[in-house]
Amino acid sequence: MADPPPLQPDFTITHDSEPSETLLAGFSSFGLAGLTAVDYLVDHLELKEQGHLSAEGLPTVTPFEEGRPRHHTRLFSRDDLEVSVLVGELFVPVGAGRTFADVILDWTEANGVREVAILSGVPIPHGPNEHRTYYIATDDYRERRLADESIPPMGQGFLDGTNAALIERGLDSPLGVCTFVTPVHAQVPDVEAAIRLVETVGDVYGIDIDSGPLEAFAAEVEQYYTELADRMQTRDDELPEDRMYM
């Protein structure tokens, strides 16, 4: 008798206030550049936690700081800012990427979110002149946000896991979706890559963000990020494999 298919994890989002029309997201992925970037945005812009995502059926992680635990995936916003930020410290395997993305996207649709932008690093071969941010975006997002920007498109390839599922939903719905990607190195966190992503957010959304203190900020959380990367490395076969070519 064949083994039964593995049960899909169950994700639930709880929030205390309505999100902004724009959601910025960063998840646990190679180099942790996207996660470092959104974590810094929350800290630098003094955003307040407004909700969280819980997961059943996955090996979980409960971060803590100064002895105080927190949820692994949290929503942040501020009344006078047009963006909400999703910080995802939970490692989500490729096989659960669509379920994870669908929960986020069902929530955005129910709460009037018009666009989602994911900040991410990708481990692709690159030269010194290619240390910049690229985009993969649906037409509506590109026309709304990138028409007057000098950010180049990523050449060709494919996405996998959560990022792929988010972009795919944007192709068939009014939701504008973009993945901002930048080359990353093996060090954790890749601070230079995170700085590029932070500066991209500032340019695209007209937010005054000083990326200067990010290096010091990353140094403060380096040990935690290193431990998080080690946990991801032990499950390397389940990591998303984003394949993009310059």
Q: Which domains does the chain have, with CATH numbers?
A: 24-45+90-235 (3.40.50.10900)
The answer to whether the pTM exceeds 0.75 is: yes
pLDDT at 6: 46
Q: How many CB atoms lie within 10 A of CB 224?
A: 15
- Among residues 18, 26, 78, the alpha carbon closest in space to that of 49 is found at 78
Mention every residue, 6+ apart, whose C-beta is less than 8 A from residue 86. Answer: 23, 24, 25, 26, 38, 53, 73, 74, 75, 76, 104
| pLDDT, position 15 | 81
pLDDT digits (tens, 9 = 90+) for 82-130: 999 999 988 887 778 888 888 898 899 899 999 999 999 887 665 666 6
Comparing 212 with 21, the larger pLDDT belongs to: 21
Question: Tell me: the pLDDT tens digits for 192-246?
Answer: 888 999 999 999 999 999 888 887 777 776 666 666 666 666 555 444 444 444 4
236 contact partners, CB below 8 Å, separation of at least 6: none
Are 242 and 179 spatial neighbours (Cβ–Cβ below 8 Å)?
A: no
